[in-house]
Amino acid sequence: MLKELGKYKDNLSSILLGDEYILRFLLKETSGKSDEAIAIEAKKYIQPHLYMEPAEAEPACYIFLETAVTKTTSTMKTMKIVIQPVCHKDILTVQNSSAGYYGTRYDLLAERIEELLYPSDKALSRQRQKEFGIGLPELQSVETFTGGLWIGRTMTYLVPDFRQVR
């Protein structure tokens, strides 16, 4: 059952790395770079653990991910996903945000992450369900996160999934 913890993190990372909007927010410059180079660079900013003070000295944005199993029965398990979009306090303000997005950088990242987990397109929504068990991640809570020079959101989701019987 613990195998799914890493699988969920990999699925989340893939979804985030496949989104142009997220990549633009995390990376300063992407023009002239190959898709592979962009993905390698972006992986530095999408971390498979909860917040730890980033080693980078310059202001940046990060997305931290964690998973857990919260409840199991003989046929079902409930997975918990915690996602933290976090930004350095020196770069919170966004100039000319994309249409429909409001707030600070971490607000925009949180909003886009939610859109990726709850796609309005039905085919993409069915694909997400396959990536995350038998249902889409259900938002349980949103908290403000602060740590030194960093601020962001902590978003907690629950996902129903089939229990793997051995």
Domain segments of the chain as ranges: 3-162
Low-confidence ranges of the chain (pLDDT < 70): 1, 56, 96-99, 133, 162-166
* Burial class of residue 97, CB neighbours in 10 A (0-12, 13-18, 19+): middle
Please enumerate in sequence order all residues whose Cβ is within 8 A of that of 4, keeping only pairs 6 or more positions apart, or say none.
67, 69, 77, 79, 161, 164
Q: Give pLDDT, residue 1.
A: 61
Mind listing the pLDDT tens digit for each residue in 76-99?
788 899 999 999 999 898 876 666
Report the distance separating Cα 75 and Cα 164, nearest Å.
Answer: 8
Indicate the helix (H) or strand (E) that contains 138: strand 138-147
Integer Cα distance of 45 and 40 in angstroms: 10
- Residue 53 identity: E
Helix (H, G, I), strand (E, B) or coil at 129: helix
